[in-house]
């Protein structure tokens, strides 16, 4: 059971990070479009991906991760502070996800803000993966 849930969790993490990364990149690319019909079509696709792929996978990933942490007793074992930091970065990643969702519907989005969210998603994801792999503290 443990390995099946771990596989589900790791696959979910890959899909959540990948979806957020591609969605934020698509927002940046959409800023270059000039035809209102193309912009509307791109926003429609982005909203569908956000609502029907990102949110369900995010919920599955969080539930499987918390279940794994609780069943392994990682919250109570000394030397597992990495998990607390990872959860803090998860909250930051979720905030970036909400920001990305707001950007999808914003036609007058400043490009620097779109780039900030895109780069932030990459950096926060990289730190979370490092914490899960290295468990530095």
> Residue by residue, what is the 3-state secondary structure of the chain?
CHHHHHHHHHHHHHHHHHHHHHHHHHHHHHCCCCCHHHHHHHHHHHHHHHHHHHHHHHHHHHHHHHHHHHHCCCCCCCCCHHHHHHHHHHHHHHHHHHHHHHHHHCCCCCHHHHHHHHHHHHHHHHHHHHHHHHCCC
Domain span at residue 34 reads 2-134
Q: Is 62's pLDDT higher than 90?
A: yes
The yes-or-no verdict on residue 79 having pLDDT over 80 is no
**Confidence tier at 25 by pLDDT (50, 70, 90):** very high
- When pLDDT is averaged across residues 105-124 and rounded to a whole number, the result is 93
Whole-model pTM?
0.90
Number of domains into which the chain is organized: 1
């Amino acid at each position: 059971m443990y390995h099946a849930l771990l596989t589900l969790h790791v696959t979910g993490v890959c899909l959540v990070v990948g979806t957020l990364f591609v969605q934020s990149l698509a927002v940046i690319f959409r800023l270059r479009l000039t035809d209102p019909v193309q912009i509307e079509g791109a926003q429609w696709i982005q909203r569908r991906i956000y609502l029907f792929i990102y949110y369900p996978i995010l919920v599955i990933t969080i539930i499987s991760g918390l279940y794994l942490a609780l069943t392994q007793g990682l919250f109570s074992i000394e030397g597992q502070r990495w998990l607390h930091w990872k959860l803090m970065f998860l909250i930051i990643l979720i905030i970036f996800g909400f920001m990305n969702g707001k950007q999808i519907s914003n036609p007058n989005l400043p490009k620097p803000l779109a780039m900030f969210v895109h780069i932030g998603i990459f950096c926060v994801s990289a730190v979370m993966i490092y914490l899960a792999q290295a468990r530095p503290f």
